[in-house]
Amino acid sequence: MFTFKKWRRRRLMSEPWPSEWLGIVERNVPYYRLLVPQQQRELHGLIRIFLAEKPFEGCGGLELDDEIRVTIAAQGCILILGRDTGIYPKLRSVLVYPHAYVANVTARQPDGTVVEGRQGRLGESWMQGYVVLSWEDVLRAASGVHDGRNVVFHEFAHQLDNESGAPEGVPLLSEGSMYAAWSRVFGAEYRALCDSVERDEPTLLDAYGAISPAEFFAVATEFFFERPVELKARHPELYEQLKLFYRHDPAVLTRGASNDE
């Protein structure tokens, strides 16, 4: 059925790409430069749709502009590029602070008591459909492209995870037959990271991923796009599952870019 929404999206996908936006993504989204022209054109269209459908809110006195919106939209849309999926259907708004911000947190202790406090945050993703980001840390990802940390990839991976109904590190997969392998590989990798962190052993993946399966998926997503060659070499099964899900092979793109230099 051809709906108005589909017609509108098709029109947005066909509109000319503003030259000033190109400068923004080339400067602030390093992964964009690895994509082939066809992928870049598809990403342009997804960014247009994202900006047309998802509201942004400036927080803490931040005044929003095209650089902020386009940079965040581009990185968020990289995760859905080439995938037959919705454009974050549960996402209601993106909130952006100028710097790291402080949030109220509630934690349940092992003895059952509840402790409330305040904690500094670079970003967070809510089941209710909100993504919160620090603009300073969004930009930091552009300068530290190979450090395995990208707050936009991380928080939007949580949004993908939430689409399955619960943040458990198991997003909606394209085929039912994929869940068994996903569960086996991610379960084993998550337990291995937890064991290494408990023994205070060095790990490739950030120890933050040991907090929960949901955080493990988000951290693995960051490393998949930021340090793909190392991830593939040291965690080949994990890399393969992420490649099947995201329909990207960033290790090949990264090696190709290195060979061209």
The structure tokens 């198991």 sit at 170
pLDDT at residue 24, rounded to an integer: 96
pLDDT digits (tens, 9 = 90+) for 170-215: 999 989 999 999 999 999 999 999 999 999 999 999 999 999 999 9
Each residue's pLDDT tens digit, 93-132:
999 999 987 666 555 545 555 445 455 667 898 888 899 9
Q: Supply the DSSP symbol for 33.
A: G
State the pLDDT at residue 116.
Answer: 53
Tell me how far apart the 2 most distant CA atoms of the chain are, in Å: 59
**Residue 120: predicted pLDDT:** 61
Q: What are phi and psi of 13, to 5 degrees?
A: -65, -30
* Closest listed residue to residue 77, CA positions, set 91, 64, 65: 91
Reported as a single tens digit per residue, the pLDDT across 18-54 is: 999 999 999 999 999 999 999 999 999 999 999 999 9
Using 50, 70 and 90 to split pLDDT, how confident is the model at 5?
confident
Residue 246 has pLDDT above 90, yes or no: yes
Res. 145: pLDDT tops 80: no
Give per-residue pLDDT as tens, 71-87: 999 999 999 998 877 89
Every domain of the chain and the residues it spans: 164-261
Q: Where are any strands of DSSP class E within the chain? A: 56-58, 93-97, 101-108, 114-121, 123-126, 130-134
Average pLDDT score over the chain:
88
Asked if the model's pLDDT at residue 226 lies above 90, the reply is yes
Burial call 12-35: b when 16+ CB within 10 Å, e when fewer? beeeeeeeebeebbeebbbbbebb
Q: Which residue has the tokens 């934690």?
A: 107
Looking at per-residue pLDDT, the higher value among 20 and 4 belongs to: 20
Positive or negative, the Cα torsion across 78, 34, 56, 116? positive
Q: How far is CA 109 from the centre of its chain?
A: 29
On whether the CB atoms of residues 87 and 80 are closer than 8 A, the answer is: yes
Any idea which architecture 164-261 has in CATH? 3-Layer(aba) Sandwich (3.40)
Give the Cβ contact number of residue 199 at 10 Å.
Answer: 7
pLDDT of residue 259: 52
How close are the terminal C-alpha atoms of the chain, in Å? 47
pLDDT above 90 (res 2): no
Residues above pLDDT 70, as percent of the chain: 88
